[in-house]
Amino acid sequence: MFGLVGGLVLLIILTLRGWNLFISAPICALFVAITAQLPIFVGDMNFVESYMTGFSGFVASWFFMFLLGSIFGKFMEDTGAADSVAEWIITRLGKKQAVLAVVLACAILTYGGVSVFVVAFSVYPMALSLFKDANLPRRFIPAALAFGSVTFTMTSAGSPEIQNWIPIEYLGTSPYAAWEVSLVVAVIMFVLGYWWLTKMISHAVNKGESFESRVGDPTLDERSLPHPITGFLPLVVVLALSFFYHDSLGKMALIVALSGGVLALMAINWKFFKDMQEALGQATTGALIAIGNTAAVVGFGSVARVTPAFETAVAAMTSIPGNELVGAAIAVSVIAGLTGSASGGQAIALPEVGPHYLDQGVSPEQLHRVVSISSGALDSLPHNGYVVTTIRAICNEKHSDAYWAVGAVTVVVPVIGLAIAIALFNFF
């Protein structure tokens, strides 16, 4: 148990220190294997075989989804369609609603299938301009971007993001599982999160904080943008195809949906491409990095899963007295939090907790929604890849300045939403 917990803590520390996950995850997995006295190179459940089984298995299952999602997002960016959609929303709301405009722009793009990383890159320049016009502290921009991307949209019913699709493989459900409860929870999360975020910003403004310009701030691209409808239509295509084919194709419907979105985007906005080949190259590289980082964490989890300590931990979490959905939520939340990955946490936890709770008669639809929402809560701790990228690389802020608002709207609010979802499943 010391080795398992120590390996997870070490992974968090190395990630916070900026280590590459392709290096830190195998090192931490090796630490877990040695302390658990697992064979390293030969023998049953040896370290190398266990790690690469988890790594390659995740890539084999989700490569095309990551690739097509990255291409779709990059094409939205390269043609200016993402900027056009975001600008349309922002123009309608005005600078007095700067925070709401940023949140809604991110939410629409995310729910339409655009990668959360691409959304952050696309919306940030406009968010910066809006916060500057409204004279709001720029350290809250990461929270606005994250709230619109990885909370009430990413894990909601119907979302094309993989955090809503991974449970399908293990539970035999659909991306619209328990949509009624999901809708209620999403609305509550949006209202609560937006209220809290604006309160934090107002408090900071009342204390004298304001916008501060910096050398090197990005400026909005002045090029001619396509009509906003040409950005909305591909998003509709993705959602429509995933809806029509999810019953017959299962998770493969996501490949069809994203492919349809890419083709629709190419057909509608062909003349607005700046450089399609460069966009494809960047999208491919981005997809490989994204799935590789996640797979590296899944590989770590695969090694941890074959240790006696992991079996003990899972047994403890799944034997928590009371409601089964609570136990499933705790198990997925803890694993997603420790690995800093919602999708990685699901891929590690579901093979263990899925069959356990299905055998106990838990509704697959309810379990799907609880797993999805819970994976998007504690995963947003400081070492999460999206959090680090958004705060440091995109917004050029310090964790000490920006993370607390991010943590409030991406950790606390989803945990509250998760509690509400479980309550609704149990009392209605």
Question: Could you give the angle at the alpha carbon of 178 between the alpha carbons of 110 and 371, nearest 5°?
Answer: 70
What pLDDT band is residue 413 in, cutting at 50, 70 and 90?
very high
- Average pLDDT on 120-131 reads 78
The more confidently predicted of residues 133 and 328 is: 328
Two structure tokens written together for 355: 């069959």
Ranking 85-94, 232-241, 297-306, 364-373 by mean pLDDT, the lowest is 85-94
pTM over 0.85: no
**pLDDT at residue 372 in the model:** 95
Instruction: Evaluate whether 346 touches 167 at the Cβ level (below 8 Å).
Output: yes
State yes or no: pLDDT of 324 exceeds 80. Answer: yes
State yes or no: pLDDT of 220 exceeds 60. Answer: no
What pLDDT band is residue 20 in, cutting at 50, 70 and 90?
confident
State yes or no: pLDDT of 93 exceeds 70. Answer: yes
What pLDDT band is residue 286 in, cutting at 50, 70 and 90?
confident
What pLDDT band is residue 85 in, cutting at 50, 70 and 90?
confident
% of the chain beyond a pLDDT of 90: 31
| Exposure string for 18-32, b = 16+ CB within 10 A, e = fewer | ebebeebbbebbbbb
Instruction: Evaluate whether 210 touches 138 at the Cβ level (below 8 Å).
Output: no
**pLDDT at residue 169 in the model:** 87
Two structure tokens written together for 34: 């040695």
**pLDDT at residue 21 in the model:** 80
pLDDT winner (highest mean) among 217-226, 286-295, 338-347, 417-426 = 417-426
What pLDDT band is residue 219 in, cutting at 50, 70 and 90?
low
Quote the mean pLDDT of the chain.
86
Give the separation between CA 368 and CA 373, rounded to whole angstroms. Answer: 9
Give the separation between CA 367 and CA 282, rounded to whole angstroms. Answer: 36
Question: How far, rounded to the nearest angstrom, does the alpha carbon of residue 206 sit from its chain's CA centroid?
Answer: 32
